[in-house]
Structure 1
């Protein structure tokens, strides 16, 4: 998706975001054991999101994703596979409702029960410091889940190839965070 200043990003005719449309058909029709890891992750997240404790959140299938800062956007660029070899604009994005959640919970590869627990930690907005108790640890990787529609503002920075942080992080697939569009301001109260 190419962003343009002044653009309004809205749900499609099926009520999905671009991210959601990439997963929706699979998580609705493919047997769980035949889904890819990413499809299983999104299926599990959507199933757990239906629990009453998480009803205030927008669905990831109806969301736009970003980061809290330009530095965080650099960290996201570092995790994209294939690694971009071109300049990436960082836009400010305005949303009436958004939540900051730790993506690390989604990347820990574990058994189904632990994955369900980690998905709940994601929706609880828990920070993954000191997790997992055994195995690879890394700093929290916070994403901003924005309810659509969102309004794209001005370009606030450019990330040059190779400029992203040198932190040694586990890469994620490009579909997890296909667009780096950041610096949020809440345009309405959450109440």
Structure 2
């Protein structure tokens, strides 16, 4: 395989996975906020583990730009539309070989029924930021890290990106999993 390839495609049932030149799966996601204060975030139930919450997002399709993929994934998984804001960062997960472009989206429309609610029974729920970090930490520490990048006022430092929108080295957040989680007794 040539090292000059920008991305590679791999067909999987019902989807095409795209990979960058370093073999990382190309993904996009949005932190969906109720309003500009960015104090409540929308999480969705995992398709694999319906009792666990995740940030809506998924694989990029061939020829799809990260911002378009993020908006598409949020509509499919969470049934919301909104105003796409800033790129929070590009998060690299070494364990699963994913690179995820994470954007901020302010929700302006919430559908009663949406693709994943009808097809797989997916749920959605609003969380305060600190609560969302807590529920994500044990099973999706990379998703918890997205929220940690927000400052207490909800804003971030703008990530370093090139004119073409690609991240510079400073915009990539490296996240290692395998963190110990403390769970409260129920």
Q: Which TM-score applies when normalising by structure 1?
A: 0.25
More helix by share: 1
